[in-house]
Amino acid sequence: MAFYHKNSSKNSIILGKMGKGRAFYLKKKLFNKYFYEGNLMLGMSEEGIASLKESGNQNVLVVGKTGIGKTSTYSVPNILVEQERSLIVIDPARELYQQTYVEKGNQGYNIETKSLSECHDGVLKHLVQQLFEKKTILYLHVHAFYHNASEEERVRKLFKLLYEFITNTKKRYHGVHVLFEEARGYKIPDLLRLLETCNSYQIQFSLVIQTVDCLNRLYGKEAAKSILNSCLMKLLMGTESMEDAEYFSDLIGREMSPKEILYMPYEKSLLTYASGSQIIDKLPVMSRFE
C-alpha cells in the first residue's frame, strides 16, 4: 500500500514559525522522527501528513491552475524534505533554484545548475556521474513555450545516459526523484517510456501541469491517456477547466460532481490513488528547515 498517514495530529508533526502565506519551518528533529527516505509529501489531513512511501515509488501527477500553490505547496516542500536521493529539477523560471538551493547545500547536496543549451555530450556525462556517485541536485533550465529540437535531444540523452549508468554500475544507489515543473510549456522526449520503465531504475517522476488538456496538446490524445495512466497518484489542487473536472469526477466514480470539483475550496486538494481518493489540505508553505 503506497498511500500512508502518520497517526499523529498536525501540531505534533509541524512545529515552527507561522507567518504570512502560512509559511512554516520544519524542524530537522521532527523530520527525522516522522519521515523516512524517499518520502513524498502530498498534503495534510486530520491524521497528519499524507505521504507516499518509497516502496510504492509511484509517479505523481500534480494538476492545478495558475496561482493555486503547485510550486509553494508541492514542489518546494518535496525538494526540501528529500535528504538521500539525488534530484533532477526541470525549472523553466529558475524559481525552484532560487527558493531551495541554499537549504540543499546546507543538507550536503552537490548543487548543479545548467541551461539545456550548455548540456553537450561531455557535460551530460559529467552530470549523470554526479547524480549517481554523490547526492546531487541538478536544476535544469529549459525554455518553456519554445520548441527546440536540439534541446529535446539533450533531454533524451540525459535520461538515456542515466539509465545506462544505473544498468552498468553495481554500486549502491539511493535513487533519483525527477520533478518536471510547469510541464505544460515543453515537450519531454520519450516521456511515456520513462514513466513506464522508471521503477526498474529506482527513478520517480513528479509531473506538474496546469490542465490535463495540455498533455493532449503536447503528446496527442492517445499518448496523453497512457501518460495519465502511468501516474497512479494524482493530486488535483484546483481547476477552472470543466474538462479537468469531468476527468477527475469520472476517475473517482462520480463521488464528487464536476461542479463540486470546480468549486473545491482553495486550501483543499483532491488526491486519487489506486485504492481510492480523498480530500486533503494543502501543505503549508515551507521556507526552509530550522
pLDDT, averaged in runs of 10, over the chain (290 residues): 38 32 48 54 77 67 94 91 92 91 95 92 94 94 73 89 86 87 83 88 92 92 94 95 97 96 96 90 70
147-169 burial by CB neighbour count: b if 16+ within 10 A, else e?
Answer: eeeebbebbebbbebbbebbeee
Q: CA-to-CA distance for 172 and 83, rounded, in angstroms?
A: 16
The CA distance from 97 to 109, in Å, is 13
pLDDT value of residue 182: 85
Distance CA 1, CA 55 (A): 9
C-alpha cell at 247: 476527468
DSSP per-residue letters across 170-231: -S----EEEEETTTTSS--TTHHHHHHHGGGGTEEEEEEES-THHHHHHH-HHHHHHHHHH-
Pairing of strands 3-5, 233-238: unpaired
pLDDT at 10: 33
H or E segment to which residue 12 belongs:
helix 10-13
**Amino acid making up residue 36:** Y
* pLDDT tens-digit series, residues 41-89: 888 877 767 776 544 568 999 999 999 999 999 999 899 888 889 999 9
Q: 149-168 vs 121-133: helix axis angle to the nearest 10?
A: 40
**Taking the model in full, what pTM does it have?**
0.85
Domains of the chain: 55-289 (3.40.50.300)
**In one letter, which amino acid is 55?**
S
Supply angle C-alpha 69, 75, 115, rounded to 5.
115
Q: Cell 492517445 appears where?
A: 222
Residue pair 244/237 in contact (Cβ under 8 Å)? The answer is: no
